[in-house]
Amino acid sequence: MQRLAQLLGEPAETQGTTEARDLHCLLVTNPHTDAWKSHGLVEVASYCEESRGNNQWVPYISLQER
């Protein structure tokens, strides 16, 4: 969660405190898109993919292209 907070720009003074914010990982991907425009989104996408593989707490929804 700390790494996700860093990637999403959570202020350092709130990280690791008793008032930690509730961070959710929502990843919506287009299977036909090969490149992300933001390096931060690439890191978040990688974090989410790894979390799905290691932990089952991260939801995954596959949306069909319209």
Q: Which has the closest alpha carbon to 6: 38, 40, 32, 31?
A: 40
Residue 36 domain-assigned? Answer: yes
Residue 13 domain-assigned? Answer: no
Res 18: pLDDT? 45
Res 58: pLDDT? 53
The residue range of the domain holding 55 is: 22-66
Res 43: pLDDT? 77
Residue 10 domain-assigned? Answer: no
Residue 16 domain-assigned? Answer: no
Residue 1 domain-assigned? Answer: no
Residue 47 domain-assigned? Answer: yes
Residue 7 domain-assigned? Answer: no
Res 52: pLDDT? 63
The answer to whether the beta carbons of residues 25 and 47 sit under 8 Å apart is: yes
The CA angle 65-4-35, to the nearest 5 degrees, is: 40
Res 46: pLDDT? 76
pLDDT in tens, 1-54: 677 667 667 676 665 654 445 455 554 555 445 566 777 777 777 777 776 666
Number of H helices, E strands in the chain: 2, 0
Based on the structure, what is the number of domains in the chain? 1
